[in-house]
Amino acid sequence: MNSTEIQKQVDVAGEETNPTIGRLIWYILSIIICLSLVIFSEKLLKKEEAKEGEGDNLMTTSTTTTESSKKDKHLLLPWFLSVTGGIMLWQGIGESSWHYGLEIDNNEGEKNFVNFPRIESFQGIPILVVFVLLFLYGYGKLGFGVESCLGAFLGNWYGHVCILGTYPFALACHINVDMKAWDRIMGTINFVIFGIIGFYIMFLTKKSKQTKYLASVSLFIAFGVLVYGVILAET
C-alpha cells in the first residue's frame, strides 16, 4: 500500500492517525464491496422468493418439509455475503474513517481541521447506542441481507467499544487495573453473556431460521471478544 500521507497526523482519542493514500483506497473499496455484497445478497433472496411463489400452488403436504429445508439452505449464501459486507463496512468506517478529517470554519471565521470520530473508542459509545436503537426499530423491515450486514457491523463495533471504549471510564472511576487486565475482564464478561444469548436462541428455541442466522452475530461477538480481549489482551 502507498504510505504517502495526504493529511497531517493528529491524536484522536489517544491514538495517532495514519492518513495514507493506501488506507484511503482501502476505505473506499471496503464501502463499495459492502454495498455490492448486500445488493447481490438481496437479489438472491428475491430470486428465491420468486421461485417459491411459483411453486406454492404445486406444493403438497408431503413436500412441505422438503421445500422448507431447501428454503433454509437458500439463506446461507445471502447471510454469508451480507455478514462479509458488514465486516467490510466496519473495516471502512470503524477502522479507517477516523484517520481522516475535514477543514471547517468556526464561529470566528477561523479554519480548523477536525477528524472523524474514532467510533471504536469511548467517542463511539453514544453513537453506537443510537444506531442500535435504530436497528431495533427497523428490524423486520429492512430485509434479511441488510439486517445481517448491519448486525455484523454493529457486532464488530460493540466488540471494540466494550473493551477499548470502556477503559477510560474504569480509570475515571478509580478502578485500579491495567489495560491488559481490563481487556480480560470485559472480554470474559461479554463472552459469557453473548455466548449464552447466541447459544440459547440458535439451539434451544424454535425461532425462524432467519432469526437464528441473525442471532449468530451474538456468537460472533462472544468469540471475537474472547480472542481479542482475553487471548490477545493489550499489554
Got the DSSP string for 151-188? HHHHHHHHHHIIIIITHHHHHHTT----HHHHHHHHHH
Average pLDDT (187-209) is 94
d(C-alpha 214, C-alpha 146), whole Å: 11
pLDDT in tens, 45-97: 999 888 877 655 555 544 544 555 555 678 999 999 999 999 999 999 999 99
Distances (CA, A) of 197 to 77, 190, 191, 200: 24, 10, 10, 5
The dihedrals phi and psi of 166, each to the nearest 5 degrees, come to: -95, -20
If one compares 80 and 175, the residue with the highest pLDDT of the two is 80
Q: How many CB atoms lie within 10 A of CB 157?
A: 24
d(C-alpha 175, C-alpha 172), whole Å: 8
pLDDT at 50: 83
pLDDT at 55: 59
pLDDT at 148: 96
Of 76, 86, 91, nearest to 30 (Cα)?
91
d(C-alpha 97, C-alpha 220), whole Å: 23
CB 197 within 8 A of CB 218: yes
Q: Please give the span between the terminal C-alpha atoms of the chain, in angstroms, as a whole number.
A: 28
pLDDT at 130: 96
Angle of CA points 111, 113, 117, to nearest 5°: 140
pLDDT at 54: 65
pLDDT at 70: 58
pLDDT at 110: 74
pLDDT at 105: 78
pLDDT at 99: 92
DSSP symbol at 122: G
pLDDT at 150: 97
pLDDT at 111: 76
pLDDT in tens, 114-158: 888 899 999 899 999 999 999 999 999 999 999 999 999 999 999
d(C-alpha 123, C-alpha 13), whole Å: 7
pLDDT at 108: 73
CB 9 within 8 A of CB 17: yes
If one compares 111 and 27, the residue with the highest pLDDT of the two is 27
Kindly report the average pLDDT of the chain as a whole number: 88
